[in-house]
Amino acid sequence: MARKFCLLLMALMVGCGHKPPYEGKSVAQLERMLKDGDADAQSQAAYGLSLHGPEAVEAVPALAHGLASPHTLVRQNSALALGRIGPAARAAVSALTAVLRDPEWMVRRQAALALGEIGPDAVAAVPTLQRLTKDPDRLVRRAAQDALAKVQGGPTKK
């Protein structure tokens, strides 16, 4: 009986140690996952690409496409990844600007933060970011203010 219990306990411990689907994947593999039809796989792929930072620049078009997903977490993680890519994600400024009007505050916030990380190349987003400083959510307002400071080259307001 004790042996069966120990075996069961060991099996549970091994089963709980699985790694996330994005771990150990290359940018190309994650980009393919992002194009998968499954929303969970897409959100995991976008998050995995965010961990690669500027090295994920080749995935910018796929991430920009992810901003149009019907799934909130895919849009949010796509914006996160574009922000972590930074200035090299300048091709996604238009798509990020569009999601500043997203119904989900988390997506609006992440898109504003991403535009801030892109910096001065995101100057086309300034009018929309200015409107976002009046957003009902204070975290979104703060992200828009921070983004404006970075895009316009001024100090961040506290």
- Reported as a single tens digit per residue, the pLDDT across 93-140 is 999 999 999 999 999 999 999 999 999 999 999 999 999 999 999 999
Q: How confident is the model at residue 154 (pLDDT cuts 50, 70, 90)?
A: low
Domain that holds residue 65: 26-152
Return the biggest CA–CA distance within the chain.
70
Query: Is the confidence at residue 155, as pLDDT, over 60?
Result: no
Token duo for residue 155: 């100090």
If one counts the domains in the chain, the total is: 1
**pLDDT confidence band for 18 (50 / 70 / 90):** confident
The Cα 112–Cα 36 span in angstroms is 26
As given in the structure block, the two tokens for residue 58 are: 């080749």
Residues whose CB falls within 8 Å of the CB of residue 33, separated by 6 or more in sequence, listed in order: 21, 22, 25, 41, 42, 44, 45, 48
Name the percent of the chain lying above pLDDT 90.
79
Confidence class for position 6, pLDDT limits 50, 70, 90: very low
pLDDT mean over 5-15: 47
Q: What is the CATH number of the domain that holds 66?
A: 1.25.10.10
Query: Is 69 inside a domain boundary?
Result: yes
Residue 87 lies in a domain: yes
What pTM does this model have?
A: 0.85
Asked if residue 11 belongs to a domain, the reply is: no
Q: 4: pLDDT confidence band, cut at 50, 70 and 90?
A: low
120 near 76, Cβ under 8 Å?
Answer: no
Residue 90 lies in a domain: yes
DSSP-derived letter for residue 107 is: H
Residue 158 has pLDDT above 60, yes or no: no
